[in-house]
Amino acid sequence: MMMSHSPQYFYIRVIEARDVSIRNHYYTSEPYVSLKKNGKDWPNKFTGCFPGREWWDQIFRFKIKRTNAEYINLEVRDRGTALLLVGSFWIGEVRINIRDFSDGLVHQKWFRLGNSLFKRHRRKPKGAIHLAFHLVSNKHVHPFSTPSVEVPQTFGEWIANNEKIQLRSELLPAASSSTSSSTSTSTSASKSSSSSHNSSKKKKEKRSSSSSKPSASKSSHKDGDNRRSSEPKESSKQAKRTGSEPPTGFLIDLSFTPKVQNHRRNGIVDPRVEAA
């Protein structure tokens, strides 16, 4: 069996608005507030309109069955009259979700008027509205009998708090960007130090390898010199064993020199030539 939930009652107190009056020389501004439940018009759900007045302090009640799905749309309009114009101008609106105030306590807040959710307007929204809310389970309960959870604020105090919040929101990204830049600089510095350390290691290795190469060449030169010096020693040893000395210099045939030829003509024979 499905249990039937008893309906609840949502009270909205429209207190005042600021910066919603349209200043014009042709007509007098008469702003008022129209309330809609779930996007539908309800009879007698609008405030009175008075010339140049932005204060209403009127209470409206809505019967609510589903707190998570239902909402109230408040639309601020201006009922101005001119010579040939009769009607109202859209100023701005705000949507109130009932689930945001389902705790059964009294809430009081300022809201910036925004764009429409159902219709596109040529005008840009302007101004703000001051509202109070109270969700009760019984229609016999007197609404707004307890003080609100939020501290009541004037329009000037609310603007000042919003400016502080905006400054904080602007400063937080700057601080995060500065910290990220500092971390990036530290990481880049560590990378540069590591790269310099690696480059110094590579230079040292190159120097050690270059120093080892000349030593190897020197040792090879020394080995060649030792081999060359050992070759004459071995040849001299072999000559001593055989009893003959190795030839040094060039051999000159003395038989063709002019002195030898003259001696032969004169009958003188050089024993060195004969031996040769």
pTM over 0.75: no
Residue 47 pLDDT exceeds 50: yes
Mean pLDDT of 230-256: 51
CB 167 within 8 A of CB 44: no
Q: What is the pLDDT of residue 128?
A: 95
The sheet that has 128-136: what strands, in order across it?
Answer: 55-64, 8-18, 128-136, 107-112
Q: Decide which of 215 and 47 is more confident.
A: 47
Mean pLDDT of 49-58: 88
**Span 121-147, pLDDT tens digits:** 778 899 999 999 999 998 888 999 999
| H or E element that contains 159 | helix 155-242
CB 46 within 8 A of CB 35: yes
The CATH number of the structural domain formed by 8-148 is 2.60.40.150
**Span 99-127, pLDDT tens digits:** 999 999 999 999 999 988 777 777 889 99
Beta bridge partners of 34: 46, 75
Q: What is the pLDDT of residue 204?
A: 66
**Spatial CA neighbour of 87 closest among 46, 45, 30, 156:** 30
Distances (CA, A) of 207 to 53, 146, 196, 219: 91, 87, 16, 19
Enumerate the domain spans of the chain.
8-148, 154-179
Residue 92 pLDDT exceeds 90: yes
Instruction: Report residue 210 as tokens.
Output: 């270059």
